[in-house]
Amino acid sequence: MVRTFIIDTDTASDDAVAILMALQYPDVEVAGITVVHGNVPLHQCLANALFTLEVAGVDVPVWAGADRPLLRPASTAQAFHGVDGLGDAGYGPPSRTPEAGHGADALIDLVRANPGCTLVTLGPLTNVALAISRAPDIVDRVGRCVVMGGAANTVGNVTPAAEFNIWVDPDAAAIVFRSGLSVEMVGWELCRGDAGLSQDEYEA
């Protein structure tokens, strides 16, 4: 059975790997990618997403979304990922271009067109919060919302309590977590190796 993914990303090196992995699974169809501010400014996140798809040799539509958090000033992780988000490796600009329209509106259309889809978020939740605020009906149309974010049971990577994706736009995160979406939080614990999962749990 083919699973439909919609990916929302602040594309830097880690997200590029995640996108490439999703594209390799034979039972996954990526219906679209929306881009949000985060690891690097929005224009660079967008270029990185388009470049990643070029490397993969696939044609998936991409939309640019929010370029700043809902209320807070924008912050980046360029000190970690490099100015370009890809380790400053000097890759050229992508040859393809994004779709017209805002990423939040694209999320609404994609979810409505793909009921039961899996929404995968790899960055701050600004686009998702905007989409829910504009179209609350999409909450019941998403089968799973897998959020890479949070530090519920470990030390954060920005402050002792906060993981980057949630810290960048906590107001958006609050909207998403309180919306009724079926959220599965993949927290910073997994990145640190602190998850404490058994082999049986990994295999499940």
Cβ neighbours, 10 Å, residue 116? 11
Instruction: Name the residues annotated as catalytic.
Output: 10
Strand arrangement of the beta sheet that strand 62-64 belongs to: 62-64, 28-35, 3-9, 117-121, 142-148, 183-186
Cα(93)–Cα(184) distance, integer angstroms: 34
Residue 58 is encoded by which pair of tokens? 């696939």
Cβ neighbours, 10 Å, residue 140? 12
Surface-to-core class of residue 28, CB atoms within 10 Å of its CB (0-12 exposed, 13-18 middle, 19+ buried): middle
Residue 135 is encoded by which pair of tokens? 């179209």
